[in-house]
Structure 1
Amino acid sequence: MFQDIAAALLADAPELRGKLLPNASMSELTWLRVGGPAQVLFKPADEEDLAYFLARCPADIPVMAVGVGSNLLVRDGGVPGVVIRLGRGFNDIEPLDGARIRVGAAVPDVRLAQAAAQAGIAKLAFYRGIPGTVGGALRMNAGAHGGETKDVLVQARAVDRSGAVHVYDNAGMGFTYRHCGVPDDQIFTRAVFEGVPGDPAEIEREMQGVAEYREANQPIKSRTGGSTFKNPPGKSAWRLIDEAGCRGFRVGGAHMSEMHCNFLINDQNATATDIETLGETVRKRVFEKTGIMLDWEIKRIGVPAPTSAALAAAE
């Protein structure tokens, strides 16, 4: 448990409309279902409320945003500072002229794909295969099935630590593979995407194909964080893991999937330490076998659980 700082934060922002929750469980908010609490979990009412809070949050308190936790590993010691989770005030979806669609950052990627299909906007069906939110897709240039966020983004809005709102065009996002160049302390709130006119029924069929591929080739019904490691240039991470003999490899309550060995699975009440140790061991074995060091695609946040020695010293 962390020191409760929620009351002090609220005193500095008395007109806050969102919720500040001290020592809020993070394991319930992630697909891996592990990890300690957030010192404070903040659920802003809307972009204005988010900007109001950030402008008044002391600069020495760490702040980070999370989505639905689909590619997130929270360490067992929890997350000091403020974790921001966008909700209803960031769920708007509005089709626009010119085969464009404007969506809030909390909209799940699958809903973006579905709304685009209903509006007859093609080229966004690949989002059907991405288990996250629009905010996460912007932050990591999410992609699947031949499409990437950089291919369809027109504009994105973000709020910085001072509460100022920034608007980025596609070039200003600084997209590279599974990365964008917008400073990490800025929180995306909304985006506009552009496809091309298409037949809704044909787009639906394409989305169905994406869904069937995922179900047949990925362990989507397990406690997983999606792809664990990024693909190195010209290589497939799963193939390197397989060549290193790590398909099915286990540490504690977690193992690398037999179906798709770039997915790690929490199948026996693993701790975050189990999962991170598993990933780091796989990275080491792949490097020893191939000379390639895999980079994590799953985002790891927070601090490790304190050791018993540290607890004894604290007491």
Structure 2
Amino acid sequence: MSGTLTLPALRGRLEADAPLGPQTWFRVGGPAELLAKPADAEDLVALLAGLEPAMPLTVLGAASNLIVRDGGVPGLVVRLPARGFGTVAVEADGIVAGAAALDVTLAEHAAAAGLAGLEFLCGIPGSVGGAVAMNAGAYGTEVKDVLDWAEVATARGVERLPAAAFRFDYRHATLPERGVVVRARFRAAPGDAAAIAARMAEIRSAREASQPVRARTGGSTFRNPEGAKAWALIDAAGCRGLRRGGAMVSEKHANFLVNTGGATAAEIEGLGEAVRERVLAHSGVPLHWEIRRIGVAQ
């Protein structure tokens, strides 16, 4: 990485050669060439406006569904801090939340207010910005089903866009070029508090029982192919428990990769590629990564 990048003045924090691995759920990966944490949306807009067009830009959320490669991430990495981007406001028929607010926090605020329809978010280990950017979903509901609007910062300012503008697809949203989600509104409806609490408890219990939630993992590794379940294809190909260095296919859920301790990003990604090869050879079905992989190999 060049080490020669320059940025406009920032009221927030700016760090060169900033470690990213400890911030990811896998706990692997190299540094960011530059890591910026803007103070607020105005600070972020100024930052984006001052970037040279050729400067690589990467935006991180909670870094839960992510592999940072061992060589690190060139250019500028932006991560929105909770202070400035983590507020949650309850309204009569919905919740407005900053991009840095955790999905589970949003679900808990809705439940406390007796608002139904956002319970699924307690089963998604990420942040609001990431949930919008990847159309996160679980337990039969996706962000596209409940999003009213999201505000996106670009070099031109902050624009409020309706849900339809994001052209949502499976685990994908179309954002403006170099755009960063800063806030979003999710609609909900008054409901029975006991029923909402019971549904959230059911989701948490199901997740605890079926997923390696206490391991160093990145969530669901591969997208479910049309008409199939990725975990079942992986299991049928004999990959459950498969290892590469410190990386392993979870014994608990075959569509999860885990860092058993001391794994490198290359080992985790390489194991994923080995799984894809085995599944294709066994069933003829190609698996596509759901985990985001960024940076350069070492």
Q: If the length of structure 1 is used for normalisation, what is the TM-score?
A: 0.92
The residue correspondences of 1:236-255 to structure 2 (distance < 5 A) are: 236-255=229-248
Tell me the residue number matched to 2:293: 300
Look up the match of 2:124: 130
1:5, 1:197 → 2: CA distance?
53
CA distance in 2, matches of 1:163, 1:35: 32
1:155 paired residue among 132, 136, 149 = 149
**Aligned position for 1:4:** 3
Q: 1:78 aligns with which of 72, 89, 112?
A: 72
Deviations for 1:174-231, whole angstroms, at most 9, x for unmatched residues? 0111111224621100000001111223212211111111111100000000000010
Find the partner of 2:97 among 96, 103, 106: 103
Alignment equivalent of 1:234, drawn from 218, 227, 233: 227
Aligned counterpart, 2:203: 210
* Partner in structure 2 of residue 54 of structure 1: 48
Corresponding residue number in structure 1 for 2:255: 262
1:90 equivalenced with 2:88 (yes/no): no
Give the counterpart letter for 1:75 in structure 2: R
User: Counterpart amino acid of 1:255?
Assistant: M
* Aligned-partner Cα distance in 1 for 2:287–2:156: 36
Task: Please state how far the C-alpha of 1:165 moved relative to its aligned partner.
Answer: 2.2
2:215 counterpart residue number: 222
Letter in 1 for 2:77: V
Aligned match of 2:110: 116
Please give the alpha-carbon distance, in whole angstroms, between the structure 1 residues aligned to 2:159 and 2:293: 26
Give the Cα–Cα distance (whole angstroms) in 2 for the partners of residues 285 and 164 of structure 1: 47
- Once the two structures are TM-superposed, the CA of residue 172 in structure 1 deviates from its matched residue by 1.1
Secondary structure of the 1:265 match is strand
**Contact 2:41–2:158 at 8 Å: present in 1 too?**
no
Match for residue 286 of structure 1?
279
Distance 1:129 1:158, change over 3 A: same
Residue 194 of structure 1 corresponds to 187
**Identity across matched positions, percent:** 51
Q: Is the 8 A contact 1:135 1:189 kept in 2?
A: yes
Q: Tell me, in whole angstroms, the C-alpha distance in 2 between the residues paired with 1:67 and 1:150.
A: 18
* Offset at residue 4 of structure 1 (A): 3.5
Instruction: Give the direction of change, closer, same or farther, for the CA distance of 1:253–1:184 in structure 2 (3 Å limit).
Output: farther
Inter-partner Cα distance in structure 2 for 1:184 and 1:207: 36
* Alpha-carbon separation, structure 1, partners of 2:118 and 2:4: 42
Aligned counterpart for 1:24 among listed residues 10, 18, 23: 18
Quick check: 1:53–1:163 contact (8 Å CA) kept in 2?
A: no
| Residue type at the aligned position of 1:124 | L
Deviation at 1:159, TM superposition (A): 1.4
2:167 counterpart residue number:
174
CA contact (8 A) 2:73 2:294 kept: yes
Q: Distance in 1 between matches of 2:240 and 2:143?
A: 30
Task: Give structure 1 stretches of 5+ with no counterpart.
Answer: 306-315
Task: Tell me, yes or no, if the aligned pair for 2:234 and 2:255 is still in contact at 8 Å.
Answer: yes
* TM-score between the two structures when normalised by the length of structure 2: 0.97
Instruction: Please report the RMSD computed on the Cα atoms of aligned residues, expressed in angstroms.
Output: 1.2
| 1:132 partner SS | coil
Query: Which residue identity lines up with residue 127 of structure 1 in the other structure?
Result: L
Residue 232 of structure 1 deviates from its aligned partner by 0.7
User: Alignment partner of 2:262: what SS?
Assistant: coil
Q: Establish whether residue 274 from structure 1 lines up as the match of residue 273 from structure 2.
A: no
1:38 is aligned with what amino acid?
A: A
